[in-house]
Structure 1
Amino acid sequence: MSDPAPAFRVEAVDYASALPELRHVRETVFVQEQGVPLDLELDAMDPQCDHVLARDAEGRPIGTGRLTPERRIGRMAVLPGHRGQGVGEAMLEALLARALAHRWPSVSLHAQADAIAFYTRHGFLPRGPRFEEAGIVHQDMHRSLGVPTPVEGFEAARAALVGLVARARRELCLHTRELDPGLLDRPEIIEAIRRLVQDGGELRVLLRDPKAAQDALSPLISLGQRRSSAIAFRVIEEPVDLNFAGAYAFNDRGGWYYRPLGHRVDGETRIDDPARVRQLRAAFQEIWERARPCSEFRALGL
């Protein structure tokens, strides 16, 4: 059976004619709910922006978003009674489509702190420290369009991996040296993996140094003990495979994160590249068939 059609629609709108509807949503969310001063919510850039509007089945406005000439997504707002229904995701996709139509190489946004995870799932990575804007904590985030997004530093690496895991439906594969301390031991990443396998997904992990992972008390090992039917570890031993210097992860929805040097987190990522995932999966599968089951972890109770 196909998924039911959403009870809303999202469309690009003319700013002048849609202004009353845009203001209704934005002032309800930003001014009345969040306490943003009206003179900060409205700005001179509004008429120059691309705007999208979400309407419910009766045509009433329920969400807004805009794309500025500075290649920044903003004013993302959904009325309280319509949150958690995919409205924000649909508006974000519509704005990204507009940016692609402009042939822009990338977009950025200032995400409110409680919305960072939402944007991470859609391929945006944090850049720089958090800051206050209109009295609300924000994070600058960015994403490349049509090409991989560079990953620089641990915060961006963690966001890339969390987004990759969160978007997986049935499969996640990791090629790692020693379960990546600083990445695969982070609570938000372990929790995302736990949700994946709890919902019926599977995780396969190739690693080189199981003893180092044990010594570091990697939480992924204990999660594997509890979810042994869904999480499998194998150890790389063949010289041809040990010569590979990098590390990578991919899911079953076209998302990947690749690091040229496995001992570093810097690399690149993309959430919508099934062709590259097919290449990574083929390479991973060859190594998987040559690797041995990780008896070291079974000795701990697996």
Structure 2
Amino acid sequence: MSAPAFTVEGVAYEAGLPDLRRVRETVFVQEQGVPLSLEWDELDPLCHHVVARDAHGEAIGTGRLTPKHTIGRMAVLPDWRGRGVGDAMLRALLVQATELGWREVSLHAQASAIEFYARHGFLPFGERFEEAGIDHQSMRLLPGAVNPVETREAAIAAVLGVIAGSRRQLHVYSRELDPGLFDAPEIVAALRRRAVAGGEVRVLLQDPAEPQRALAPLIGLAQRLPSAFAFRAIEEPTDRSYPSAFVVNDLGGYYFRPLGHRFDGETRLDGSGRARQLRASFDPVWERARACTEYRALGL
């Protein structure tokens, strides 16, 4: 394997200031129009900073942990976006937060970056707000712990995290494809990306007729990618009495709802024990369920 095209390291504020300025002022001040007076604050000297560097040692990304247990100033130079730099920096910051013993980490995500943070387990809370003229959303994560899900927005973020954290398999146990959740455009798009990348999605439904009547977009996606999606209908009375719903992946990520008609529940992206339990409860029901042949596209 070739060496990574970039590295991420922690830097002291004074020593790293030239690199921090190069990235942050390029992205926030020049590109996004944030006033220079707002970009640098009294917290900067007190923060834990990380810098991403290319193979030549040039700074290409920055991020920081503040004394308020928040992550901020996440920035990547334009030419390096979409290449995993932001993911690597965020992982490095979360490792630092865990080493510091922080039980909660929060951040103010630009609206366009909500899905990015959701992929790492952050859940939105509160209303959208404007900061430095840009639409933002508060998000938080309890590292290494179960995270409560209380709203539809948090439920969408939880599902996005489980999808992104899968290696190959996703198991979905649902009453009727959960209107408001599995028809959310960002979830449909994430499932499409996973399927195109070789993922396998198994969906167990208690009521397969209702999603069909509602023209659920996930059915149409499955018809276009039949090798990646499989739907089965639960018919055994004892199986149909199960009140809960969940989505679980093959790398320890899950989102579980005690009552399948509600969004509130819990999620964790590194909960291997609980994820194994959910997969173990899914598999025998899957074997007993019937294939949803009514979902197949004509001619298949």
TM-score over 0.5 for the pair: yes
Q: Partner letter of residue 108 of structure 1?
A: S
Contact 1:53 1:63 in 2 (8 A): yes
CA distance in 2, matches of 1:105, 1:31: 32
Residue 242 to residue 301, structure 1, CA distance change in 2 (3 Å): farther
Equivalent position SS for 2:41: coil
Equivalent position SS for 2:61: strand
Partner of 1:16: 14
Partner of 2:75: 77
Contact 2:47 2:67 in 1 (8 A): yes
Q: 1:102 aligns with which of 100, 103, 107?
A: 100
* Residue 222, structure 1, aligned to residue 220, structure 2: yes
Partner of 1:297: 295
Contact 1:169 1:196 in 2 (8 A): no
CA distance in 1, matches of 2:244, 2:128: 30
Partner of 1:177: 175
CA distance in 1, matches of 2:52, 2:225: 41
Deviation at 1:301? 6.4
Contact 2:231 2:291 in 1 (8 A): yes
Q: 1:154 aligns with which of 152, 155, 160?
A: 152
CA distance in 1, matches of 2:297, 2:111: 42
Equivalent position SS for 1:54: strand
Deviation at 1:25? 1.6
Q: 2:209 aligns with which of 203, 208, 211?
A: 211
* Residue 5, structure 1, aligned to residue 13, structure 2: no
Deviation at 1:280? 1.4
Equivalent position SS for 1:248: strand
Residue 47 to residue 279, structure 1, CA distance change in 2 (3 Å): same
Deviation at 1:182? 0.9
CA distance in 1, matches of 2:296, 2:19: 60
Residue 298 to residue 76, structure 1, CA distance change in 2 (3 Å): closer
Partner of 1:111: 109
Q: Partner letter of residue 175 of structure 1?
A: Y
Encode CA deviations 1:139-185: one digit per residue, 9 max, x unaligned: 11111111121111111111211232233332111000011111111
CA distance in 1, matches of 2:4, 2:170: 28
CA distance in 1, matches of 2:47, 2:297: 60
Q: Partner letter of residue 230 of structure 1?
A: A
CA distance in 1, matches of 2:124, 2:225: 31
Partner of 2:86: 88
Partner of 2:280: 282
* Residue 127, structure 1, aligned to residue 125, structure 2: yes
Encode CA deviations 1:4-24: one digit per residue, 9 max, x unaligned: 321221111111222222122
Give every structure 1 segment of 4 or more consecutive aligned residues whose post-TM-superposition deviation is greater than 6 Å: none
Partner of 2:194: 196
CA distance in 2, matches of 1:222, 1:58: 47
Query: For the aligned residues, what is the CA RMSD?
Result: 1.7
Q: 2:184 aligns with which of 186, 190, 203?
A: 186
* Residue 35, structure 1, aligned to residue 33, structure 2: yes
Contact 1:122 1:163 in 2 (8 A): yes
Contact 1:225 1:301 in 2 (8 A): no
Q: Partner letter of residue 287 of structure 2?
A: E
CA distance in 2, matches of 1:86, 1:229: 28
Residue 298 to residue 58, structure 1, CA distance change in 2 (3 Å): closer
CA distance in 1, matches of 2:19, 2:293: 62
Equivalent position SS for 2:182: coil
Equivalent position SS for 1:81: helix
Contact 1:113 1:138 in 2 (8 A): yes
CA distance in 1, matches of 2:206, 2:22: 56
Give the TM-score normalised by the residue count of structure 2. 0.94
Q: Partner letter of residue 14 of structure 2?
A: A
Give the TM-score normalised by the residue count of structure 1. 0.94
CA distance in 2, matches of 1:19, 1:194: 41
CA distance in 2, matches of 1:68, 1:49: 5
Range that drifts further, 25-34 or 67-76: 25-34
Partner of 1:273: 271
Residue 91 to residue 298, structure 1, CA distance change in 2 (3 Å): closer
Range that drifts further, 249-258 or 164-173: 164-173
Equivalent position SS for 2:181: coil
CA distance in 1, matches of 2:227, 2:27: 45
Equivalent position SS for 2:127: coil
Deviation at 1:223? 2.2
Deviation at 1:195? 2.0
Show structure 1 runs of 5+ residues with no match.
Answer: none
CA distance in 2, matches of 1:134, 1:23: 18
Show structure 2 runs of 5+ residues with no match.
Answer: none
CA distance in 1, matches of 2:261, 2:3: 45
